[in-house]
Amino acid sequence: MSRLLPHPLLTLLLVLVWCLLINSLSLGTVVFGALLGLLIPAATAAYWPDRPRIPRPLRLVSYILVVLWDILVANVQVAMIVLFKPNADMKSNWVTIPLDLKSPEAISILAGTITLTPGTVSADLSDDGVALLVHALDAPDPEATGNQIKDRYERRLKEIFE
Amino acid sequence: MILDLIIVAALLIGGFFTLVGSIGLLKLDSPMKRLHAPTKAATLGVGSLLMASIVNAWAHHDGSLNEVLIMAFLFITAPITANFIAKVNIHRRDTRDPLPQPPNDDIWATLDTPPDRSDG
Amino acid sequence: MIDLALNFAFVAVGLAQVLALVRLVRGPHVGDRILALDTMVINAIGLIVLVGVKWGTQMYFESAMIFAMLGFVSTVALARFVLRGDIIE
C-alpha cells in the first residue's frame, strides 16, 4: 500500500490539478490524471521520504476559513492606511515572535499566514528556529501585535500539528 | 442579472485593490513598508479579477474553473516572494529601523554568514 | 454594465502598471526594483485575465498561468542572486 501510494494526498492533488488544467471532468481526463497521480509520486518518492503528519486535518479547514476572512478584513484596513495615512504617522515596527511550534511545516504555514494577512510580513527566522522576525506596517504596540498573532494563528496551528 | 452584479462588483473590487497596491508601492517611504502594499493588495486584486472571470464563464459561456489554479498559485507564491524580498532588504542593510535582537543571544538566519567553503 | 466595469478595471490596472514602472525606474534600493518587477508581473496577469473576460475566451488562461509561474521563478532567482551571488549552487 505505502509503496503503491507513497503520498495519497499528493495523488489526489495531482488528479485535481490535471482536471483543472484540462478544464474538463470527462472520464478520459480523470483516468489520465489518476495515471499521472500514481506515476509521479512513485517516481519522485526517493526525493521526499518524510510525509508531513497532520493529526487533525479537519481543523485545517476551519483554520483556512479564519485566515481567508482575516485576509478580506485586513486588506480593507491596509488599503485605508495606504490611501489616507501620511507616512510620518505610520508606526512601522519590527515584531519578534517567540515560537512554540516545532515542526517545519507548521512554522512555514504560520509564516505564510502572517505574510498573507495584510499589515504584517514575516521577514526572517532566527538561526536556531525559535523566533520569527515580523515587520508590521502600522503597529503602535509591537507586543500586542505579537500576542495577537500568537493567540489567533499559532494556537490553532499547534492544535492541528501537535 | 444577479450574476452580472457579482461580475461587476468583482471587477470593481479587483481594479481598486490592484491600484491601491501600486499606489502604496509608490507612496510609502521605506523599503520594508513598501513590501506591504503590493504583495497583499495585488493578490486580493488579481484574485478578485479571476473571480470575475470564473463567474463570467459560468454565466455567459461554457463555464470553466481553471482560473482557480492561477489563484491558488498566486496565494501560495506571494508569501515566498515577499519573504525573499525582505531577506534581500535585510541582507543589504536597506531596512530603516534597526533589527531587534533575537532571543537566546542568537542571530537572524539571513545575517548568518556561511563558513568559508574551500572551492575545489 | 459589465462593459463599464471592465473599462474601469482596465484603466485601474493599467494605471497601477504605470505607477509600478515609476517605482522600478526610481529605485532606490535593489529590493524595491525586484518588488516593482514582481508587482508588474502580477498586474500583467490581471490584464490578461481582463482581456479573456472581454473577449469571452478561455484561450488566455495558459498565458496567464505561464506568466504567473515565470514571474515567481524570476523574482526568486533575482532575489537569490542578490543574496548569494549565485543562483544554482
Residue boundaries of the structural domains of chain C = 2-84
The three cell numbers locating residue B103:
532571543
Calpha distance A105→A97 (Å, rounded): 17
Calpha distance A13→A4 (Å, rounded): 16
Those residues with Cβ within 8 angstroms of residue C77's Cβ, 6 or more apart along the chain or in another chain: C87
Q: Based on the number of CB atoms within 10 Å of its own CB, is A111 exposed (0-12), middle (13-18) or buried (19 or more)?
A: buried
Model confidence pLDDT, tens digit, residues B71-110: 888 888 888 888 888 888 888 776 666 777 666 666 777 7
Instruction: Identify the DSSP state of A103.
Output: S
Which residues are registered as beta bridge partners of A98? A131
Distances (CA, A) of A74 to A32, B41, B100: 41, 10, 25
The residue of chain A with its CA nearest to that of B68 is A20
Q: A121 in contact with B at a CB cutoff of 8 Å?
A: yes
Identify residue C37 by its one-letter amino acid code: L
* Span B61-66, average pLDDT: 78
Q: Which CATH number fits domain C2-84: 2.60.40.1580, 2.40.160.40, 1.20.1290.10, 1.10.287.3510?
A: 1.10.287.3510
- Contact assessment for residue A135 and residue A95, using Cβ atoms and an 8 Å cutoff: yes
Calculate the CA dihedral of residues B40, B42, B47, B49 and round it to 10 degrees: 150
pLDDT of residue C87: 67
A97: enclosing H helix or E strand: strand A93-98
Instruction: Identify the DSSP state of B99.
Output: P
Q: Which residues of A fall within a CB distance of 8 Å from B27?
A: 82, 87
Could you give the domains of chain A? 8-47 (no CATH), 57-161 (3.30.70)
Q: Which letter, b or e, does each residue of C73-86 get, where b requires 16 or more Cβ atoms within 10 Å of its Cβ? A: eebbebbbebbeee
Q: C68 in contact with B at a CB cutoff of 8 Å?
A: yes
Decide which of A48 and C65 is more confident: C65
Q: Which residues of A fall within a CB distance of 8 Å from B50?
A: none
The three cell numbers locating residue C21:
514602472
Residue boundaries of the structural domains of chain B = 2-98
pLDDT of residue A92: 78
Q: Which residues of C fall within a CB distance of 8 Å from B70?
A: 45, 49, 61, 64-65, 68
Nearest to A6 by CA among A33, A55, A35, A40: A40
pLDDT of residue B1: 78
- The answer to which of B20-24, C36-40, C56-60 has the lowest mean pLDDT is C56-60
Q: Which residues of B fall within a CB distance of 8 Å from C80?
A: 84
Which C residues, 42 through 61, put their C-beta within 8 Å of a C-beta on chain B?
Answer: 42-43, 45-46, 49-50, 52-53, 56, 58, 61
Those residues with Cβ within 8 angstroms of residue A150's Cβ, 6 or more apart along the chain or in another chain: A97, A100
Distances (CA, A) of A84 to A138, B27, B64: 13, 11, 38
- Contact assessment for residue C6 and residue C54, using Cβ atoms and an 8 Å cutoff: yes
pLDDT of residue B120: 41
Smallest Cβ–Cβ distance between B103 and the set A90, A93, A130 belongs to A130
Smallest Cβ–Cβ distance between B26 and the set C22, C50, C69 belongs to C22
Nearest to B57 by CA among B12, B15, B7: B7
The fraction of chain B above a pLDDT of 90, given in percent, is 2
* Span A122-145, average pLDDT: 79
Mutate to test the interface with B, among A97, A109, A122, A127 (most CBs of B within 10 A): A127
* Span C44-54, average pLDDT: 89
- The answer to which of A22-31, A50-59, C27-36, C68-77 has the lowest mean pLDDT is A50-59
The residue of chain A with its CA nearest to that of B80 is A112
* Span A7-19, average pLDDT: 83
pLDDT of residue B34: 82
Q: Within 13 Å, how many C-alpha atoms sit on residue B90's CB side?
A: 26
Calpha distance C36→C24 (Å, rounded): 5
Mean pLDDT of chain C: 87
- Contact assessment for residue A123 and residue A112, using Cβ atoms and an 8 Å cutoff: no
Model confidence pLDDT, tens digit, residues A135-157: 888 777 777 777 878 778 888 88
* Span A3-19, average pLDDT: 79
* Span C5-31, average pLDDT: 89
Dihedral of alpha carbons B36, A82, A113, B43, sign: negative
Which residues are registered as beta bridge partners of A134? A95, A122
Q: C6 in contact with B at a CB cutoff of 8 Å?
A: yes
Model confidence pLDDT, tens digit, residues B38-47: 777 667 888 8
In the predicted structure, residue B117 carries a pLDDT above the cut 60:
no
The residue of chain A with its CA nearest to that of B113 is A127
- Predicted ipTM? 0.85
Q: Which residues of B fall within a CB distance of 8 Å from C53?
A: 7, 11, 49, 52-53, 56
Contact: C46, B49; criterion CB under 8 Å: yes
Dihedral of alpha carbons A119, A122, A123, A127, sign: positive
A56-60, A61-65, C17-21, C82-86 — most confident range: C17-21
Model confidence pLDDT, tens digit, residues C58-84: 788 888 889 889 999 999 888 888 887
Confidence of residue A101 (pLDDT cuts 50, 70, 90): confident
Mean pLDDT of chain B: 80
The three cell numbers locating residue C38:
514582481
Q: Which residues of B fall within a CB distance of 8 Å from C65?
A: 69-70, 73
pLDDT of residue B102: 67
Mutate to test the interface with A, among B25, B34, B36 (most CBs of A within 10 A): B36
Calpha distance B108→B97 (Å, rounded): 15
